[in-house]
Amino acid sequence: MKVILFGASGMVGQGALRECLLDPDVTAVLSIGRKPLGHAHEKLREIVREDLFDYAPIADELRGYDACFFCLGVSAAGLSEAAYRRVTYDLTLSAASALAPLNPGMTFIYVSGEGTDSTEQSRAMWERVKGQTENALLRLPFKAAYMFRPAYIQPMSGIKSKTGWYSAMYAVVSPLYPLLRRLIPAYVTTTEELARAMLVAAKHGAPTKIMNTSAIHQLARLPRRDRASHGRA
């Protein structure tokens, strides 16, 4: 399987990249971003572009991929709806709309978030915009598309958030992770579980188009021998 990865420098993207490089079924990973990752691996190739809204100049390099993991995202804090929509809806759809006709057999996986509003009617701006983004992705002609909605994500294997206030939050919350996992397991996952579930969905499908934390856990812990028989939604 060949994977295109957006957001490989972020916390979720780092987890996805790590699991892709460890997975023997993944033969190639193409990372697309604005800055080099500074990470060398025989499976990994990078395209560094300042403009992530226009893919026409590199269209030929985007053909022949089986999956796309879209892990780019920003906090809505301090942003107007127009600004947040541009870096959430517009940027995501620019990439997805370019990939769909080039790779009709592709599975597209979008990392959204708990609380996303599929009705697009929420009073919370970010919930509406995320819902609009998910709905638009589900209308594109991919072989399959899945919207992953994790809540709290615990970074593992030395992965760290590059956002200052997120890093500060994790420094405080991480010691409590085992307790949170016992008390509210439906709202707590890890970078490893999230990435493994994404890989299972890309290879073998998932039970539903919208994947909350509980569904992510179920997919991530499927024994390898059972994954091939897991049907697509």
DSSP-assigned letters across all residues of 44-104? EEEEE-S-SS--GGGGGGG-S-SEEEE------TT--HHHHHIIIIIHHHHHHHHHHHH-T
Q: What CA–CA distance (Å, rounded) separates 90 from 15?
A: 24
CA 78 to chain centre: 23
Tens-digit pLDDT profile for residues 22-46:
999 999 999 999 999 998 999 999 9
Least confident range of 69-83, 166-180, 212-226: 166-180
Helices (H), the chain: 11-22, 81-85, 91-102, 125-139, 164-173, 177-183, 191-204, 213-220, 224-227
Q: Which of 129, 126, 115 is nearest to 77 (CA)?
A: 126
Question: In sequence order, which residues have a C-beta less than 8 Å from that of residue 205 and are 6 or more positions away?
Answer: 144, 230, 231, 232, 233
Nearest Cα neighbor of 69 from 29, 128, 34, 101 is 29
For the sheet containing 67-70, what is the strand order? Answer: 44-48, 28-33, 2-6, 67-70, 107-111, 144-149, 210-212
- Does 185 map to a domain? yes
**Nearest residue to 115 (alpha-carbon basis) of 71, 151, 77, 70:** 151
In a domain, 95, yes or no: yes
Structural domain of 65: 2-227
Q: Is residue 221 situated within a structural domain?
A: yes
Give the predicted TM-score (pTM) of the model: 0.92
Per-residue pLDDT at 198: 98
Q: Is the pLDDT of residue 231 over 60?
A: no
pLDDT for 233 equals: 52
In a domain, 233, yes or no: no
* Predicted pLDDT of residue 139: 98
Query: Domain with 137 in it: what CATH number?
Result: 3.40.50.720
Tell me if 138 is assigned to some domain: yes
> Is 232 contained in some domain?
no
The domain tally of the chain equals: 1
CB 16 within 8 A of CB 5: yes
The residue-averaged pLDDT of 13-19 equals 96
What is the reported pLDDT for 75? 87
**Distance in angstroms (rounded) separating the CA atoms of residues 191 and 150:** 10
